[in-house]
Amino acid sequence: MSAMKTSFTRLALAAGLGAAVAAGGVVAASAEEPKTGGVLRLVVAGKIPSYDGHRESTFAMIHPIRPFYSLLIRVNPDDPQSSDFICDLCEGDVPAPTNDGKTYTFKIRQGVEFHDGTPLTAHDIVATYNKIVFPEEGILSNRVSRFAMVDAISAPDDHTVQFDLKYASPGFIPMVATPFNFVYAKKDLEQADPDGKDPQYGMKWHQSNINGTGPFVFVEHQPGSHVLGKRYEKYHHEGKPYLDGFKAISAPKMSIRIQAIRGGRADIEFRGFPPKARDDLVKALGEDITVQESAWNCTFGYAGNQTKPLFQDKRVRQALTLALDRWGASRYLSKIAIVKTVGGLALPGHPVAADEETLKSYYGYWPDIEKSRAKARELLKEAGAEGASFKIWNRAVDQPYKAVGTWMIDQWRQIGLNVEQIVVPTGPWMAGLRDPEQEGADVNIWPSCQSVVNPIVDAGAWISKARAADNRGHYEDAQLDEWYDQMQREGDPAKQAELYRKFEKRVLHDEAHFGQILWWHKINPHRSYVKGWKIAPSHYLNQSLDQVWLDVSDEERKQRTMDELGG
Amino acid sequence: MATVSEGRLAVAMFEEPAAVKPWHEKLRDMARKQPVGVAGAIIVVLMILMAVFADVVTPFDPLQTSYEYMLAPPDGSFLFGTDMLGRDVYSRIVYGARTALFVGFTAAAVGGALGLVLGVSSAYFGGLFDLIFQRVMDVFMAFPLVIMALAVVSILGTGTENVILAIIVPFVPRCARVVRSSALQIREIPYIDAAKACGFGHTRIILRHMAPNVMAPFLIMVTAFVGQAILTEASLSYLGLGVQEPTPAWGLMLQGGAEEFAETAPWVAVFPGLAITLAVFGFNLFGDALRDVLDPRLRSSQ
């Protein structure tokens, strides 16, 4: 398979992203011959909000549902740490742009069928991307703002798709490779409501129905229990998938997921375990467990809700960030939580990421924490906010939310602030983040997990609320908006990095809109017989499972297939 | 009611007054008669003292984290070791007693008082009011205590005040039911009719003439409630629906990190678990002894 190497592949990510490491043994370079058959059992923490990838943004949907779908292009599953993109439903190489970088033309693979037998054509791709990029009113498309560069999508013939951009953008191809961009059948999207009530019935059909071209066919979903899929015999990547099926088992509590792997009732968990769980599993299972680790394309931070008077004063926001001992946390908090790396807005190791010297010039990153806290107290005094009281709006998930939230409270206590924590389940938490008036949402915990490493586009999270629905500080900042737009259009990587630096400094230091704490660190211990899966810098990536196989005896693979799929 | 004959009264008047026993002898007598109850009382009193003087008897701020001492085992510096954020487990347990007692006493007192008034009123008025009221209580009592508390917290949200409210709601019908059964007997005693004949109002009869006469079962009930409230609070906090970090609370200490580190740092889970067990055990023993002392049927059988 050939791969297009975008400008992002020049990333010196190897150091920052980290190589996959193995505790039970080095991850095999996989010269082994894959074995066919068997059922993979994975454990998943969250509930599936809907099956519609265009609408959702959670691993709880991706892990059980992604194997039913294909993408137009995807991150190379053999090298997911890089940003090599390869064709999935397109043919040949990922196309280079023409028309001064403003036109991308994809040749669509022929002979592909949806699971219901419908042949795939370019019109299905166009209908899919029209839903993602130009959603009808009332249809939620989670990443619509990141496709701002797209002007039009068309199908000159049944096997060609053309994207016309408003301006050349290096962020376009990584956005197309986003694993949430499931390709749907046009006829499914256009179908009419049998009851004649909902004119958008087809656009909503995938929220509760599944029909893709992925390596596995949907068998059943028992909410609270599992999702089951079986091999799609007509899958377009020859010889794959290797598995007969997969079973995604719902296990909300981390201790249950760990014990499931330890006790041999599950083979793998794709989101990530804390270091302690890794150590326990390695100690208990030795060679039977393999650990893959990676940097994780997830920021973990917070934002003062700027609709509340206390946080309208930037000195208070600056004091909050100055109080946090990030360097100490990186050494110690990383022992108990899935966070590790000190960084700015871009994933450490990426060409636009701030180096250590630059970081140490920002508020909150000074190496001398006592000096930093003295400055914080001074700013609070100037702002008349000494001893101020407020609440943190946090999510009822241990890792890393509650662990880091509790640490933040202690850090802020040390500059005399009186902080409480409101911990609520995911649904109310998300609702509270969106609502600037939410009682108790004074400081919002603000994680931002992305899939493909694409910091120029992902900086859109920190622009004005009017343009970024996921802005958790509820602020407006025209300067940031302007720099962001310039970054998207800038073709020169050096100038782009320069703009990014100004943007980052304003977000983290000058205005302190956002307090980045630590980048997440991904640890995936799994049973050593699970082969073919390689860790990516995101828990959303490389989840089609078409590469995965089980290095167990023929009898055991057959038995698993019998047990889960009935033969 | 027993009456005293004039002759015996005269004898009693001229007898030497019985010597008043010093307090330690009284305590010794009580310990002899109710050894288990006294043990319970000692636990309860120690817990109260611990909560009141928490800042004196703890060496560390219960909220203070310390990178250097994360998951340190019990030793001379940290009596019960430290948790995953380097906080002193002993200090957090001592301060946790404040949370437990505050929630326990408040929930038991308020829930008990409401149950007392409602139970006595139901018995006093009887008829349709009693019938409807008791069916409503039946509905509430159909839900197990923790399930009802979970439902209330799900609606109101987390936090100490809401946890107290969540525990009060299921307590009220339980207390009202017990109090009502005693109050039904009181209602049939002629002095209630006499009070009515004197023209006393309902409120006065309920609060001054009936409620004081159901105090024995009420006090037993309330004492048991404190233990139950502590257990319920710990359960809710364990489930992440009670008080929130970093507040020191026993149930909360068993949650999250304790599950994760229970194998390699068992002190993180063992000591809060022991604290909960001991507190509930103490209140239950004390409640049982109180019942033995206050219940005339049990007293006469001894």
Residue A60 has pLDDT above 50, yes or no: yes
Q: How far apart are the first and last CA of chain B?
A: 21
Helix (H) and strand (E) counts for chain A? 18, 19
pLDDT value of residue B300: 52
CA distance A277 to chain B (A): 7
Mean pLDDT (chain B, rounded): 85
Chain B hits for A406, Cβ within 8 Å: 85, 245-246
Tell which phi-psi region holds residue A40, choosing left (phi > 0), alpha (psi between -120 and 50) or beta: beta
Residue A17 has pLDDT above 60, yes or no: no
Q: Which helix (H) or strand (E) holds A381?
A: helix A369-382
Chain B hits for A422, Cβ within 8 Å: 157-159, 244
Asked if residue A71 lies in contact with residue A540, where contact means CB atoms within 8 angstroms, the answer is: no
* Cβ contact B260–A277 (<8 Å): yes
Chain A hits for B150, Cβ within 8 Å: none
* Cβ contact A403–B67 (<8 Å): no
Residue A9 has pLDDT above 60, yes or no: no
In one-letter notation, the amino acid at residue A277 is A
Asked if residue A556 lies in contact with residue A315, where contact means CB atoms within 8 angstroms, the answer is: no
Q: Name the residue ranges covered by the structural domains of chain A.
A: 33-267+529-565, 295-520
A434 in contact with B, Cβ within 8 Å: no
Structural tokens at position A497: 């990095």
Strands A39-44 and A245-250: parallel
SS3 A416: coil
* Cβ contact A424–B157 (<8 Å): yes
Find the length of chain A. Answer: 567
Q: How far apart are the first and last CA of chain A?
A: 33
Asked if residue A297 lies in contact with residue A59, where contact means CB atoms within 8 angstroms, the answer is: no
Cα dihedral value A258, A263, A267, A273, nearest 10: 10
Buried b / exposed e over B69-104, threshold 16 CB at 10 Å, is bbbbeeeeebbbbbbbbbbbbbbbbbbbbbbbbebb
Q: Which residues of B, range 179-208, sit inside 8 Å of A by Cβ?
A: none
Task: Give the phi and the psi of residue A346 in degrees, each rounded to 5.
Answer: -100, 145
Task: Give the phi and the psi of residue A248 in degrees, each rounded to 5.
Answer: -95, 110
Q: In sequence order, what are the beta bridge partners of A547?
A: none
Strands A4-5 and A84-87: antiparallel
pLDDT tens-digit profile of B3-36? 444 444 444 444 555 567 777 777 777 778 888 8
CATH code reported for the domain at A295-520: 3.10.105.10
pLDDT band at B224 (very low <50, low <70, confident <90, very high): confident
Nearest by CB to A336, from B70, B157, B259: name it.
B70
Mean pLDDT (chain A, rounded): 91
pLDDT band at B299 (very low <50, low <70, confident <90, very high): low
> What is the CATH topology of the domain spanning A33-267+529-565?
D-Maltodextrin-Binding Protein; domain 2 (3.40.190)
pLDDT value of residue B6: 44
Chain B hits for A328, Cβ within 8 Å: 67
pLDDT band at A5 (very low <50, low <70, confident <90, very high): very low
CA distance A366 to chain B (A): 18
State mean pLDDT over A115-143: 95
The radius of gyration computed from the CA coordinates of chain A, to the nearest angstrom, equals 24
Which residues, 6 or more positions from B25, have their beta carbon under 8 angstroms from its beta carbon? none
* Cβ contact B256–A331 (<8 Å): no
Q: What whole-number distance in Å separates Cα of residue A449 and Cα of residue A59? A: 10
Place of tokens 């709880």: A60
Q: What whole-number distance in Å separates Cα of residue A194 and Cα of residue A212? A: 21
Q: Which residues of A, range 180-239, sit inside 8 Å of B by Cβ?
A: none
Place of tokens 């439903």: A89
3-class SS letters over chain B:
CCCCCHHHHHHHHHCCCCCCCCHHHHHHHHHHHCHHHHHHHHHHHHHHHHHHCHHHHCCCCCCCCCHHHCCCCCCCCCCCCECCCCCEHHHHHHHHHHHHHHHHHHHHHHHHHHHHHHHHHHHHHCHHHHHHHHHHHHHHHCCCHHHHHHHHHHHHCCCHHHHHHHHHHHHHHHHHHHHHHHHHHHHCCHHHHHHHHCCCCHHHHHHHHHHHHHHHHHHHHHHHHHHHHHHHHHHHHHCCCCCCCCCCCHHHHCCCHHHHHCCCCCHHHHHHHHHHHHHHHHHHHHHHHHHHHHCHHHHHHC
B266 in contact with A, Cβ within 8 Å: no
* Cβ contact B85–A406 (<8 Å): yes
Question: Structural domain tally of chain B?
Answer: 1
Chain A hits for B264, Cβ within 8 Å: 276, 280
pLDDT value of residue B19: 65
Q: Which residues of B, range 153-172, sit inside 8 Å of A by Cβ?
A: 157-159
Mutate to test the interface with B, among A257, A273, A276 (most CBs of B within 10 A): A276
Asked if residue A89 lies in contact with residue A112, where contact means CB atoms within 8 angstroms, the answer is: yes
* Cβ contact B70–A410 (<8 Å): no
CA B298 to chain centroid: 21
Q: What whole-number distance in Å separates Cα of residue B136 and Cα of residue B142? A: 10
Residue B47 has pLDDT above 70, yes or no: yes
Burial label for A226, CB within 10 Å (0-12, 13-18, 19+), is: buried
B263 in contact with A, Cβ within 8 Å: yes
State mean pLDDT over A115-141: 96
Asked if residue A55 lies in contact with residue A140, where contact means CB atoms within 8 angstroms, the answer is: yes
Cα dihedral value B129, B131, B134, B139, nearest 10: -110
pLDDT tens-digit profile of B138-151? 998 898 888 888 88
Residue A192 has pLDDT above 90, yes or no: yes
Asked if residue B73 lies in contact with residue B66, where contact means CB atoms within 8 angstroms, the answer is: no
* Cβ contact B244–A409 (<8 Å): no
Residue B251 has pLDDT above 70, yes or no: yes
Q: Which helix (H) or strand (E) holds A40?
A: strand A39-44
Q: How many CA atoms lie within 13 A of A231 on its CB side?
A: 21
Structural tokens at position A111: 């002979």
Report helix, strand and coil shares of chain A as percent, to nearest 5.
Answer: 35, 20, 45
pLDDT value of residue A486: 93
Contacts of A194-201 with C-beta under 8 Å, sequence gap 24+, read A200/A136, A200/A138, A200/A139
Strands A39-44 and A268-269: parallel
State mean pLDDT over A530-534: 96
* Cβ contact B260–A255 (<8 Å): yes
In one-letter notation, the amino acid at residue A198 is D
Higher pLDDT, B59 or B154: B59
What range defines the domain where residue B106 resides? Answer: 53-58+77-301
* Cβ contact A280–B157 (<8 Å): no
A422 in contact with B, Cβ within 8 Å: yes
Place of tokens 């409807």: B132
Asked if residue A432 lies in contact with residue A440, where contact means CB atoms within 8 angstroms, the answer is: yes
The radius of gyration computed from the CA coordinates of chain B, to the nearest angstrom, equals 24
Higher pLDDT, A1 or B44: B44
pLDDT band at B207 (very low <50, low <70, confident <90, very high): confident
Contacts of A60-66 with C-beta under 8 Å, sequence gap 24+, read A62/A179, A62/A180, A62/A539, A62/A540, A62/A543, A63/A248, A63/A270, A63/A271, A63/A539, A63/A543, A64/A221, A64/A227, A64/A248, A65/A182, A65/A210, A65/A227, A66/A179, A66/A182, A66/A214, A66/A543, A66/A544, A66/A545
* Cβ contact B245–A396 (<8 Å): no
In one-letter notation, the amino acid at residue A540 is Y
Where is mean pLDDT largest: A206-220, B1-15, B217-231, B288-302?
A206-220
pLDDT value of residue A20: 44
Residue B238 has pLDDT above 50, yes or no: yes
pLDDT value of residue B16: 55
pLDDT value of residue A236: 97
Residue A439 has pLDDT above 50, yes or no: yes
pLDDT tens-digit profile of A395-404? 888 788 988 9
Let me know if residue B22 belongs to a domain.
no
CA distance A273 to chain B (A): 11
Find the length of chain B. Answer: 302
The pTM of the full predicted model, rounded to 2 decimals, is: 0.79
State mean pLDDT over B118-125: 92
Nearest by CB to B245, from A277, A332, A406: name it.
A406
* Cβ contact B260–A332 (<8 Å): no
Structural tokens at position A388: 């101020």
Place of tokens 């033995």: B292
Q: Which residues of A, range 313-332, sit inside 8 Å of B by Cβ?
A: 328, 331-332
Residue of A nearest to B160 (CA): A422
pLDDT value of residue A19: 42
pLDDT tens-digit profile of A309-328? 999 999 999 999 999 999 99
CA distance A419 to chain B (A): 10
Which residues, 6 or more positions from B190, have their beta carbon under 8 angstroms from its beta carbon? none
Question: Percent of chain A scored above 70 by pLDDT?
Answer: 94
Let me know if residue B8 belongs to a domain.
no
pLDDT tens-digit profile of A74-103? 999 999 988 789 999 999 999 999 999 999
State mean pLDDT over B195-207: 88
A·B CB contacts under 8 A: 60
Which residues, 6 or more positions from A285, have their beta carbon under 8 angstroms from its beta carbon? A24, A262
Complex ipTM > 0.90: no
pLDDT value of residue A2: 39
Question: Percent of chain A scored above 90 by pLDDT?
Answer: 77
Whichever domain contains B278, its CATH number is: 1.10.3720.10
Residue A290 has pLDDT above 50, yes or no: yes
Q: In this structure, is the dihedral angle defined by the CA atoms of residues A496, A501, A502 and A504, taken in order, positive or negative?
A: positive
